[in-house]
Amino acid sequence: MSQERRYSFEFFPTKTDAGHEKLMGVARQLAAYNPDFFSCTYGAGGSTRDRTLNTVLQLESEVKVPAAPHLSCVGDTKAELRTLLAEYKAAGIKRIVALRGDLPSGMGMASGELRYASDLVEFIRQETADHFHLEVAAYPEMHPQARNFEADLANFVHKVKAGADSAITQYFFNADSYFYFVERAQKLGMNIPVVPGIMPITNYSKLARFSDACGAEIPRWIRKQLEAYADDTASIQAFGEEVITRMCEQLLQGGAPGLHFYTLNQAEPSLAIWNNLKLPR
């Protein structure tokens, strides 16, 4: 946890040309803060494969910030993954976020030749050796599909030992859950930086929906205060900014090796926290 800190922002590929142009504007705004990289998500079952590829290549070539595509193994064959890896390597991409990925509705339990993120990490290492810096996901409050916390922790450590260089967590609102997770993982032999994923609070209904789906717990005191604000967007945003800034202060003071902001393709909420923390530019 003593390595130099790094800060990054995450986007999702848009469905329209207008949305894409807006995203590039957001990316240029965030690029002025000199983040270490931008990451770009990959839809369930590879459903945004081409849009992810195009977005990443444009971020890398035009916005001039290193881009890290998400790559999932659900729904993709080894041949398809091999082709994507070759395209990214040829484009000068140096970092990949390696995930199992979400199952599209109706797909069933498994699809593709690789079942788990650890399999994907091993495959990327076999195909490209150490060319890519590999990020993996971590779940301080447990993956929503895990059997139990112990099994999830063991799976995470197995994924790390398969060849990961660092990890990014699912977002959370309790700093203690992060520190406890990292401490437990280190006792099992995990020795890579685990960067907290940060979700700015701007809209309560969307946040509640996201959190229920991904297993991120909204503490009761936060939930009740957000409910009390109802449709008062300004109060929700001001309260959310204060809560997340305080949590980030706790994380950094406790030794977290950086922050990864889930931007939802917006600049201002993440930058408000960045500026409050007086992070380097």
Which positions are annotated as active-site residues? 10
C-alpha distances out from residue 271 to 39, 199, 256, Å:
16, 12, 19
**Measured torsion, CA atoms of residues 24, 26, 32, 34, in degrees rounded to the nearest 10:** -80
| Tokens representing residue 253 in the block | 């003071």
Burial of 87 (0-12, 13-18, 19+ CB in 10 A): middle
- How many angstroms separate the CA atoms of 14 and 188, rounded? 39
Angle at Cα 145 formed by Cα 250 and Cα 191, nearest 5°?
45
Q: What are phi and psi of 13, to 5 degrees?
A: -70, 140
- DSSP classification of residue 174: -
Identity at 229, one-letter amino acid code: Y
| Phi-psi map region of 81: left, alpha, beta (phi>0 left; psi -120 to 50 alpha) | alpha
C-alpha distances out from residue 78 to 68, 96, 111, 180, 203, Å:
20, 16, 12, 36, 39
